[in-house]
Amino acid sequence: MASLVLLVLRLALLPGCGDPPIPDAAPTLTRLELLPADDAEAWPEGQDVGAFDLLDAQGAGPAPRVTVDAPTVRVAPMRLPGGLSVDALLLEDFDGGDPFVVRVSGRFAPGDFDELRVLATSAAPGLVSARFLRGTQSVWMAAALPLVVGADATAYAFPLNVLPEGAPPFSVLELSFEASARRVGLRRVEFVRRALVGRLPDPSRGAALFEIGGDARLAVGLSALRPLEARVLVPPDGRLDFAYARPWQVVLPGRVPALRVEVTADGVERLEASYDLDEPSWRARSLDLPSFAGRTARVRVSVDDRAGGDAACVLADACVWSPGRGPPSVLLVTSDTHRADHLGVARLGVDVRTPVLDAFAARGVLFSDCQSLTNVTNPSHIAIMTGIPPRDTGIDRNNQPLAPAASTLAEAFASAGYTTLAFVSARHLGDPSSGLGQGFDRMAWPVGRAPRAADTVAHALDALDGLGARPVFAWVHVFDAHTPYDPPEDDRELYWPDDRDPYDAQLPAPDVEPSVVAEYFDGLRDLAYPPAMYKGEVTSLDAALDELLSLPRFVGGITAVTADHGESLGQHGIWYTHAGLFRDTIHVPLLLAWPGCPAGRRVDAPVSHADLASTLLDLAGLPASLGGRSLRTAVDGDWREEPRFALSANGFSASVTDHGLQLLLWLRPQKQRQMSEGYEQHEVRLFDLRVDPECEHDLSVARHDDAAALRRLLVDWMLARQDLGLSGTTLDDPSLLENLRQLGYVAGSDAPGPTLWVEDGCARCRAFQSPPR
C-alpha cells in the first residue's frame, strides 16, 4: 500500500539519544499532506438512486415482492437515528434456530448502484449478510457485518465490487440475519451509487489507515479528476518516498491506469514519473531530487485513466527526507504471554534456552522486577503505548478499543519525524479492535490465525529494508508463547522426549477436572507437557528475534523487549491462561539497550510498564509527553519506589505491590473455565514476595495490619479513577468474540460500571473495619 500523505509543511529536525551527542548531520524528514489541487473536482458523496420499501402499502406486512423466513413476523415501531419512529417488519426467534432470511424479487441492474444499505435494529449480537442471485445462482456476496445492539436503527453498508459494463441484472436480493440476534427490525433497502474515489479516504479530511490484505497504511485517495498537490522545501540529497495501490474497490475490469508523479520548482525544474496501477497490493517507490535541493518544490500526483474515465488509487507514506547520520531508530518488541522467569539470563530457576535474548541483555540492561499493569493483551499494550493505566483508560478487555482522543507513543515519534511501523501477530491487536493504529504510518495484523514470530519478523524486516536510513519507531509483537503452545518440532524435542506420550490413556488421570484444562489439551494425562511446550515456544520466538535485534539500525539505536503479561501454568489452580493478578501473570521481562548504556547491568529496582513510554522518549532525546518516569534513574540508582497497581481483565480483581508485599483484592466473584478454584467478592490475599515469590502462603490474617494498610491504599487508588474519555465503543462482532473465546478470553459482557470499588458492608469488608480478634 502506498501514498503521498500528511502535508506537514515544516522541517522536523530529529534530536538524538540522551547520552550520545546529537549528530551534526541529522537527517530531515517532512511528511506530505497532499490536498486537492486547484483543478480537482469536489470529493463525491454517495447518492441514493433507489430504495425498496419492505412493507406493503397498508403497512400490515411484507410487500408483495418480499418473502421472509422467520418463526414470527409482525409490524412494530422502529426508532430511526434522531428519534423518529416508523413502522417496520419485526422478525423474532427466541429459540435460536435458523437465520432470518428476507428475499426481495425484482430487477437489480448492477451498473445502476455500487452500494447496498440496510437500516435495521437488533436485540442481540449477530451478523447480517447480503447477496444477489440470478435465479437460484448466487452471483455476489458481501462480507458479513456485525449487528449493533440497541433500540435505534443502524445503517449497514455493503459495497459492491465494480462489475463489467453490461453485466446481466440480478433477480433476487437476499438478506440474512443470524438467529442469535433474536429480534430484528427493518423497513427499507437503499441502493447507492458512488464515484470510484468515494470508496477511498477523502484527503480533505486527513489521511486514514487503509487496509489491504491485513497491511494498513495511513493513506488518502485520488483519481484522474481529483489530483493532489503539496509544496515542500527539499533538503540537500533530498529524496521523495511514497507508496501506492489500486485496491479491489476501485478496479475497473480490463483497464490498467497509471499513477503520475510530477515534481516542479521555479516553473523550470521538472521531474516526472509514471507507474502502472496493475496490482491490488502496496508498492513502494523513491525519487531522488538532487536538482531541487534548497528549493520549494510542488509535488503533484494524479491518475491517468488512459481511457478518459476517472480511475482511482490510494497513496501512503509520502515524505521528503535527506539521508545522513541521524537520531537513533527505536524498536519495541512485545512478546505476548511471556513470563519473566522464562528468560535464561533472569536466572529465576527455570531451565529455558533463550540465547538471543540473553545476548541482547549482555549489551543492555535487565530489569529483574518489572510488572505489567494488567493481565490481558489489548489493555496492557494500550497502557504501554499511552503510559496510562487501565483504571483511567477505562479499557479492561480485548474488544474495547482506544479512542482517537488518546495520545500515544507512536504519535509522539511521528510528530518528531520518525517513520512509525507496527507489526502485530494477533487479530484483536489490530487497529479495528485495539485502536492502536493511531500514530502509525503502517500497521499490519493477521486476518486469520496468529502467525509465528518468524513470519511477523520477516514482514517487519521486509518493510524496514525499504526505508533506507530513515529514523524509525517500530513495534513488533509476537504471539508464540500464547496457547495453544505448539512449538516447531526442533524446539519441542528440547523439552519433551519423543518416547513419552502425554496423552497415553494408561497414565493415571490428572488430579484436575477435565473441564478445567484448556480445550487445546483435551485428553491430556501428563500435566508437565504444556509447560514444556510453553518453553519450546519461548525458545522458538527467541531464535526468530535474532535478525531483528541484530539490525544495525537497532544495534546502534534504542531497543526495548518486554511482555504484555505472563501466564499461569497450573499455579494457583489456573491452568494455561492468565486469569488473576498473581505474580505469574504480571511479572514480565524487561530488557533495554541504548547507545552508551551500562552493558550487562541488572537492575533490581521495582518498575512497571507505566514508565516504559516516557523512557523510550527520554532515551531518544524527546520531550516526556506521556505519563510515567524515565527508567534511566533506576539504572543510575536514584529510583524512588512507588506502589505498583494493577487491574485485571474485565475488572475481576485489583492488586497493589509495595516494598515486597503484594495484596490482591477481588472486586467481584471469579470462577472461569480454566480455574480449578474460585474467588469471592472482596476476598483478600497477601503475599510477601521477598520470601514467597511464588505467592503460595496467604498472610492476610497473620499480618492483618499490613493487609489492611495495603487494602486501604488500593481502595483509595481505585476511588481516584479518572474518566479521561479514552475508551472506544465495545465491539460485539461475533467473529471477533469467537476468536477471543478460542484464545481463552472471557467475553466480559457483565463488566463493572465506572465505579471500580463499592464498600458493601460484607463480612470480608467488615474484617478490615475493626482490629482482628
pLDDT in tens, 426-443: 988 999 889 999 999 999
Cell of 376: 490481558
Query: Based on the number of CB atoms within 10 Å of its own CB, is 374 exposed (0-12), middle (13-18) or buried (19 or more)?
Result: buried
Q: Count Cβ atoms below 10 Å from residue 235 Cβ, excluding itself.
A: 21
Q: What is the mean pLDDT of residues 375-394?
A: 95
Q: What is the mean pLDDT of residues 266-293?
A: 91
Give the percent of the chain with pLDDT over 70. Answer: 90
User: How does residue 355 score in pLDDT terms, banded at 50, 70 and 90?
Assistant: very high
pLDDT tens-place string over residues 218-236: 999 999 999 999 999 999 8
pLDDT of residue 741: 65
Does position 395 have pLDDT exceeding 50, yes or no? yes
Which one is predicted more confidently, 698 or 158?
Answer: 698
Cell of 284: 513502494
pLDDT of residue 482: 94
Residues 741-747: contacts with CB within 8 Å, 24+ apart?
Answer: 743/426, 743/428, 743/482, 743/483, 744/483, 744/518, 744/576, 744/577, 744/673, 744/674, 745/376, 745/397, 745/398, 745/649, 746/649, 746/650, 746/672, 747/399
Does position 22 have pLDDT exceeding 80, yes or no? no
pLDDT of residue 252: 75
Residue bearing cell 503520475: 260
Q: What is the mean pLDDT of residues 594-616?
A: 96
Asked whether the beta carbons of 731 and 749 are under 8 A apart, the reply is no
Query: Based on the number of CB atoms within 10 Å of its own CB, is 192 exposed (0-12), middle (13-18) or buried (19 or more)?
Result: buried
Asked whether the beta carbons of 208 and 217 are under 8 A apart, the reply is no
Query: Based on the number of CB atoms within 10 Å of its own CB, is 469 exposed (0-12), middle (13-18) or buried (19 or more)?
Result: middle
pLDDT tens-place string over residues 96-126: 678 889 999 988 887 778 788 898 888 887 7
- CA–CA gap between residue 707 and residue 701 (Å, rounded): 8
- CA–CA gap between residue 130 and residue 145 (Å, rounded): 9
Asked whether the beta carbons of 444 and 422 are under 8 A apart, the reply is yes
As a three-state string, the secondary structure of 713-725 is: HHHHHHHCCCCCC
Element (H, E) at 73: strand 72-79
**What one-letter code names the amino acid at 49?**
V
pLDDT of residue 14: 30
Does position 23 have pLDDT exceeding 60, yes or no? no
- CA–CA gap between residue 301 and residue 226 (Å, rounded): 9
Q: Count Cβ atoms below 10 Å from residue 604 Cβ, excluding itself.
A: 11
Does position 194 have pLDDT exceeding 80, yes or no? no
45 three-state secondary structure: coil
